[in-house]
Chain A
Amino acid sequence: MSALLQAARLDIAESVRARWFAIYALVFGGLIAILFIFGLTESRVMGFTGLSRMLLTYIQLTMAILPIFVLLSTVRSLVGDREAGVYEYMLSFPISLSGWFWGRFAGRFLVVFLPVFVAMLIALVVGLFMGAEEIPWRDFLWYSALLFSLSLCFLGISFFISALARTSDIAQSLAFVIWLALLLFLDLMLIGLLIQFQTPAEVVVGLALANPLEVFRIGAMMLFDPQLILLGPAAYMILDWFGNAGFMAYALLYPLALGLALAGIGFWVFRRTDLP
């Protein structure tokens, strides 16, 4: 436990000092600020009911930004550390490999999740002070849970890639390709599969359910639009199969399970291969 805390502390301190973190925090803080300006404009027309809408827009933008940020920054720093000889020295200290790996995972998770969460929290608090009639606490809690799940999922993917790739070039390329593939297999590509190739609906839905980005997207939209009128056919079918509550549970648990499973495989590889 102590090793885990030591490693987590190190990683948090190291990340907070890194330039990527400053940019990362700035992006989400800036995003909220920009959205707020639009939210305020909207409030003149219909009070402050724009807060839910603003949260939804924020969450949609987060979906586009957070995964690639997490993937690239994490694989770059982990594999870069190994390449530069940081592992050779730091792993000569008496610290267990599980403590080191999971400590860094936990530390990095906090660093990745907290800015996104805090930015959203600040939005609500500011909204409260600006006289919002209704604060969407339910949406806020769901979005926080979904973001928690998404952050952990992509962190798990990052740690998995970092354990497999021996150079930061390969790790970054791999991370980018994975992100691109997940992005491509959102609704539009799935519709293309259905129409162009007449792929069976089950396969398309399976692809949608396997894609953590799509799962997150459907989950987030479901809170705003319970009938999923705004989304494509795959999401509609999924809603039909799972039901509202069932899918929300899936949207929370699947990315979590996927992230932890991939991080677990990453640890398995890390423990069985050369450390530096």
Chain B
Amino acid sequence: MIELKDLVKTFRRTRVLDGLSLTIADGDRIALIGSNGAGKTTMIRCILGEYVHEGRVLIDGLAPRTHRTKVLKKIAFVPQMPPPLRMPAGDLVEFAARVHDSDVSTIREVASRLGLDLDEVRRRPFLKLSGGQKQKLLIAIAMGHDASIFIMDEPTANLDPAARQIVFDLLAERLDRTMIISSHRLEEVALLVNRVIELDRGRVVLDDHVEEAVDPSLRLDCEIVLRRPDAAFAKAIREWNFAPADDAETTWRGEVAGPDRLRFLGMLARYSGIIRALELRERDAAKKGREPAHVRA
């Protein structure tokens, strides 16, 4: 359990956390939302024991600042911005495995699922990896050890749709763990979480439970029919791993991750003028005994 009580953090004269109190039970999966400067990252850093603050932070009854190693062994953290580490990716993985008492092979396995070949990048400086590769590696390191608390600051920001789907799958495999997923956009993480906390000016302004209606590992089959071929659309839809079903490139088929569907529809909205028909259908809905929920347009 994570307990924050009357947490105050001030930078010079700016009070970033303003008496924040919050209890996060084991198994709570929290979408931590709020605008820039709301205090999300500061709250996370207080939980990680990185900031001195007024008030109390306890993780399973222990203060992270004074019981660092015990507390941080339970936590897997993915930062918002990948750090500019000059060390080779392989060294970072080995370091993480050593201090977490975990196994490099587990990290390699997770990285491989995310589409990152660790053997290929292990000699390259972490700094020189692409944004997506860095993010995948940080996620693989976080997911590669047996943490009971996952803290992720915008974890999918630099990932392509396919990798995002894998991250959702990986998180879906760990739904019994406590998660704090920080994001600017609720729709990014809404389907992964069972609780939403919104911060504003260092205070909790919304604390709500989310109905767990959708399986985070859900996939949707999608077909889009266009009025006419469009190069910009083709480029955008190919990033979602869609393929044309005809030579004229007016019909496109592919799959969309359940938690990603609002983002997908947001992308499609830009091309609504050329879309003649759209179908989104839950895959294997019939097998699971569910009514096949689908969208037709």
Contact = CB atoms under 8 A, between A and B. Distances in A.
B91 A13 contact: yes
Nearest to A87: B50
A95 B69 contact: yes
Interface string A1-27: 001001000100110011000000000
Contacts of B99: 3, 6, 93-95
Contacts, number: 78
A86 B84 contact: yes
Interface stretch (A39-47, A146-154, A268-276): A268-276
Best-buried of B52, B85, B91 by chain A (most CB within 10 Å) = B85
A153 B284 CA distance: 69
A192 B171 CA distance: 71
A84 interface: yes
Interface in B33-71: 45, 48-52, 68-71
A85 B45 CA distance: 12
A90 interface: yes
B198 to A, nearest CB: 23
Interface string A87-118: 11111111111000000000000000000000
B172 interface: no
B91 A94 contact: no
B271 interface: no
Given A6-B98, A89-B77, A93-B99, A84 B51 contact: no
Contact of B48 (A92, A95, A97): A92
Given A89-B77, A274-B50, A276-B50, A84 B83 contact: yes
B254 interface: no
Nearest to A77: B86
B72 A94 contact: yes
B100 A88 contact: no
B129 to A, nearest CB: 14
B84 A93 contact: no
Interface string B165-187: 00000000000000000000000
Contacts of B71: 94
Contacts of B122: none
Nearest to A17: B86
Contacts of A91: 48, 50
A274 B86 CA distance: 23
B87 interface: yes
B180 to A, nearest CB: 13
B50 A93 contact: no
27 contacts: A3-B69, A6-B99, A14-B86, A17-B86, A17-B87, A17-B125, A84-B84, A86-B83, A86-B84, A88-B79, A89-B77, A89-B83, A90-B85, A92-B50, A92-B72, A92-B75, A92-B77, A92-B79, A93-B95, A94-B69, A94-B70, A95-B68, A95-B99, A96-B69, A97-B68, A274-B45, A274-B52
Interface of A: 3, 6, 10, 13-14, 17-18, 84-97, 272-276
Nearest 10 interchain pairs by C-beta: A94-B72, A92-B77, A89-B83, A275-B50, A94-B73, A94-B69, A86-B83, A93-B99, A85-B83, A84-B84
